[in-house]
Amino acid sequence: MKRRILLAIGMVLMISVLAAAQGKIIIGHRGAAGYVPEHTLAGYAFGYALGADYLEPDLVMTKDARFICLHDIYLDPTTNVEQIFPERHRSDGHWYAADFTLAEIKTLSVHERCRPNGAPYFPDRFPVGKSRFCVPSFAEMIELVQGLNKSTGRNVGIYPELKRPAWHDSQGLPMEQALLDILDEYGYTKPGAKIFVQSFEQTSLKKLRDLGTKLPLVQLISANWSFAGMWTKSGLDQIATYADGIGPSKTIIEKNPAFVNWAHDRGLLVHPYVFRRDELPSKYSSLEQEMEQFYFTYNVDGLFTDFVDVAARVLAKE
Ligand code: G3P
Ligand code: CA
Per-residue pLDDT of 212-242, as tens digits, reads 999 999 999 999 999 999 999 999 999 999 9
CB 26 within 8 A of CB 312: yes
Question: Is 219's C-beta closer than 6 angstroms to any atom of ligand 1?
Answer: no
pLDDT in tens, 94-108: 999 999 999 999 999
Which of 25, 26, 55, 58 should be mutated for ligand 1, with most atoms under 8 A from CB? 58
Question: Is 73's C-beta closer than 6 angstroms to any atom of ligand 1?
Answer: no
Task: Kindly report the number of other CB atoms within 10 A of residue 262's CB atom.
Answer: 18
The rounded Å distance from CA 10 to ligand 2 centre is 38
Judged against a pLDDT cut of 90, whether residue 292 lies above it is answered with: yes
Looking at residue 191, its pLDDT comes to: 78
- Give the span between the Cα atoms of 47 and 63, in whole angstroms: 29
% of the chain surpassing 70 pLDDT: 92
Which of 30, 161, 195, 251 should be mutated for ligand 1, with most atoms under 8 A from CB? 161
Question: Is 248's C-beta closer than 6 angstroms to any atom of ligand 1?
Answer: no
User: Nearest C-alpha to atom 2 of ligand 1 is from which residue?
Assistant: 273
- Give the span between the Cα atoms of 259 and 257, in whole angstroms: 5
pLDDT in tens, 46-100: 999 999 999 999 999 999 999 999 999 999 999 999 999 999 999 999 999 999 9
Question: Is 247's C-beta closer than 6 angstroms to any atom of ligand 1?
Answer: yes
> β-strand 197-199 against 54-55: which pairing, if any?
unpaired
* Ligand positioned closest to the Cα atom of 245: 1
Question: Is 198's C-beta closer than 6 angstroms to any atom of ligand 1?
Answer: yes
pTM of this prediction? 0.93
Looking at residue 39, its pLDDT comes to: 98
Judged against a pLDDT cut of 60, whether residue 13 lies above it is answered with: no
Question: Is 230's C-beta closer than 6 angstroms to any atom of ligand 1?
Answer: no
**Any idea which residues carry the catalytic annotation?**
29, 71
The region that residue 299 occupies, defined by phi over 0 for left and psi between -120 and 50 for alpha, beta otherwise, is left
User: Nearest C-alpha to atom 3 of ligand 1 is from which residue?
Assistant: 273
Average pLDDT value for the chain: 94
Q: Which atom of ligand 1 is nearest to the CA of 159?
A: 1
Q: How confident is the model at residue 14 (pLDDT cuts 50, 70, 90)?
A: very low
Judged against a pLDDT cut of 90, whether residue 187 lies above it is answered with: yes
Polymer length of the chain: 318
The region that residue 62 occupies, defined by phi over 0 for left and psi between -120 and 50 for alpha, beta otherwise, is beta
Question: Is 290's C-beta closer than 6 angstroms to any atom of ligand 1?
Answer: no
Which is nearest to 73 in space by CA: 166, 195, 183, 184? 166
Judged against a pLDDT cut of 70, whether residue 3 lies above it is answered with: no
CATH topology of domain 2-73+135-317: TIM Barrel (3.20.20)
SS3 of 237-271: the string is HHHCCCCCEEEEEHHHHHHCCHHHHHHHHCCCEEC
In the chain, domain spans: 2-73+135-317
The rounded Å distance from CA 275 to ligand 2 centre is 12
Which of 54, 273, 303 should be mutated for ligand 1, with most atoms under 8 A from CB? 273
